[in-house]
Every structure is written in C-alpha cells, then in structure tokens.
Amino acid sequence: MQPSEDSRKRLAVGIVEYLDKAVAEGIVAGDGAESLEIAKQCISDAFGLDMDDAAQLARLSLKPHSLDKVFEVYTATQAKLASDKTPAADAPPAGPSDEDRKRADAFKAEGNSLVNQKEYAGAIDAYTRAIELVGDNAVFYGNRAAAHSQNGEHEKAVDDARRALEINAAYSKGYSRLGLAYFGLGNYGEAAEAYEKGLELEPDNQTMQASLKSAKAKLAEASGDADTPVATRDAPASGAAGAGGFDFASLLSNPALMGMAQNMMANGGLERMMSNPAVSRMADNYRTTGQVPGIADLMGNPDLMNMAQQFMRPSGGSDGNDDSRPS
C-alpha cells in the first residue's frame, strides 16, 4: 500500500526538523552543518515544502515528537517482537511410554525363556529389542550381558555389564555379570574386583562368594605357575592322582560324592549337566587330547561351581540366589 502524499510530506518534514536539531544541538558542526543546510533545501524543494509556511508546518510537523525519538521507539519495538519470536529451548525428550515399557517387559520375558532353553543368540536379540524400547533399564543390560557370556561373547558382556552399572550403580547383579565376563576373558584380577564390589552391596550372595573364591584361586594358580619350575608343574600329584592332578580313586571312594551322583541321576541332573556347554567343551577336549581337566580348572569355572551348588541340593533346583539366571 502506497503512503499518501501527506504521509510522504510528514516524513520529509520530520527529516528536515531532525537536521535542524542536529545542527542546533551541535551533533553536526562546521562544514557538516553547511552541508545539512543544503540537504534541507533540497528535501524541501523535492517534496514541495515551505518551511516558512506556519499552517503547513502545523499540519505536517511531528512535534512535540522528533524523528530520532520515533526511530528509537521503532527499534525497541522490533527488538521486543524478535525476542518474543525466539523459539523456546527444546524440551527434553519424553521418556518411554507405558506401552513401550510393557512391550519391553514382554521382550525381556521372552529373552529369559530363551536363556532357559539355552537359545542364547535369540535371547540376546530379545533383550536388544527391549533395550531399544527402554534404554535406561539396568536389568535389560544385565540380562543381555549374561546371555553374551553364555554365548562366549565376553567382551560384549563386559560392555553391557558396565552400562548396567552406569544406569544403576546399586545393581549388584551388574557386578556379578561383570565378574563373569572378566572371568571368561581370563582377567581374574578384574573379575575378583567386580565380585568384591558386588558383595559390598549383597554380602550374603552365595553365588558371588563362590565366584570370588574361583577368581582368587585362578589368580593364585597363575602366580604359582609363574614361580614353579616347568618340570615340577608337569609332574603328577602324589598318591593316586592321574593326569591333570585329578585323583579319581579318592573321588570314587568318597561317599558324599557317590550320594550326590545318585541324587543327580534320580532327579535328571546328570542329563542337565551333560547338556551344559562347559561340560561339553571339557568332554570334547578329553576326546581330542586325552587330557583330563585338573581340579583347579573345575573349581575355577563359575558355571560348573553354580551347577554343583544346585546339584548338591536335594531338589536339584535353584535357591533363588543364582546370579547366572536372568532377572
């Protein structure tokens, strides 16, 4: 929309009045003041103004306001409008919805079921889908760490166990998972440290107590091997010990062991033991090399220790304190 002629003339009068003010207040002086006088005359001629016409000035003048004051008000208003239009800071992302949490719990339950069936790859996938829905749940990471360990993926298990503890430093099973992962990597010192931290949170946890003993036994064994001559290490143990220092005669004559074996056969424990990956690997190694595992190897395996604790109970089941099971 084009401004009217009076609007244009009012603006021109405002400019001339501002130039008068600039000279009167000394804003511009000397040669500059002379230049402004010429500019005033040019503007007046261009817009058909007669600055000596009192009636015209009364109609067109901005007084008692001035062009510079009008400009100040304009710039302040624009700044205010600009600040009002500034977008608000992005709101923090909303957490998982109730529906997402329900679906995540369903995937966790699926993963737990697959672990019980020893379908570890499928369990890992199920836990991963739960984590994608709810990424701040320490139990999901802890369960996936356990599944990774069972699947022989110990480095991934370390990462997941650490993430679980970042989410919840009071999650004792996170330390148990971390200890198991380090044990699988052969880092027995770090495994022992993880179990010790877990026991600070849960002092009565029998599984972690046994696992800590296994890790310390491995450390002691490594230290002993480093200090013992090779010929001494390779010599069979005294008495009736056979290959690997394993005294089968003593074991077979042990009434407690025979009772445990009978109990295992009665409740199906033997079948479960033979399906355990750790036992299968030992059997394959024996068939290939003819070497019987040493007692330190058996005592130093957390899976076998946990399994032995279960088999020594009459029911052959878990007492609910087994950290190898998913939460």
- 79 vs 193, residue with greater confidence: 193
Which among 133, 130, 152 is positioned nearest to 142, based on CA atoms? 130
* pLDDT for the residue 19: 82
* pLDDT for the residue 318: 39
Most confident of the ranges 28-37, 166-175, 225-234, 309-318? 166-175
Query: What share of residues in the chain are helix, strand, coil (percent, to 5)?
Result: 70, 0, 30
Residues 67 and 130 in one domain: no
Cβ-based burial of 267 (10 A; exposed 0-12, middle 13-18, buried ≥19): middle
CATH of the domain at 23: 1.20.5.420
Domain housing 199? 98-224
Residues 132 and 165 in one domain: yes
* pLDDT for the residue 275: 64
What average pLDDT does range 100-110 have in this prediction?
Answer: 96
* pLDDT for the residue 284: 65
* pLDDT for the residue 317: 38
Domain count, the chain: 3
Pick from 193, 224, 255: which residue ends a domain? 224
Pick from 19, 53, 71: which residue ends a domain? 71
pTM over 0.85: no
* pLDDT for the residue 323: 64
Residue 145 lies in a domain: yes
Ramachandran assignment for 217, one of left (phi > 0), alpha (psi -120 to 50 degrees), beta (any other): alpha
Residues 203 and 279 in one domain: no
Q: What is the Cα 134 distance to its own chain's centre?
A: 11
* pLDDT for the residue 69: 80
Instruction: Please report which confidence band the pLDDT of residue 320 belongs to, taking 50, 70 and 90 as the band edges.
Output: very low
State what percent of residues in the chain have pLDDT above 70.
Answer: 65
The mean-pLDDT minimum among 19-33, 103-117, 137-151, 237-251 falls in 237-251
Residue 89 lies in a domain: no
> pLDDT digit string (tens) for 183-223?
999 999 999 999 999 999 999 999 999 999 999 999 998 88
Residue 192 lies in a domain: yes
Residues 250 and 308 in one domain: yes
The mean-pLDDT minimum among 89-98, 125-134, 174-183, 198-207 falls in 89-98
CA distance 99 to 226: 56
Pick from 224, 250, 278: which residue ends a domain? 224
| Cα radius of gyration rounded to whole Å, the chain | 43
What average pLDDT does range 21-26 have in this prediction?
Answer: 80
Residues 124 and 170 in one domain: yes
CA distance 127 to 165: 17
Residues 210 and 260 in one domain: no
What average pLDDT does range 224-246 have in this prediction?
Answer: 47
Residue 88 lies in a domain: no
Residues 43 and 121 in one domain: no
Instruction: Please report which confidence band the pLDDT of residue 225 belongs to, taking 50, 70 and 90 as the band edges.
Output: low
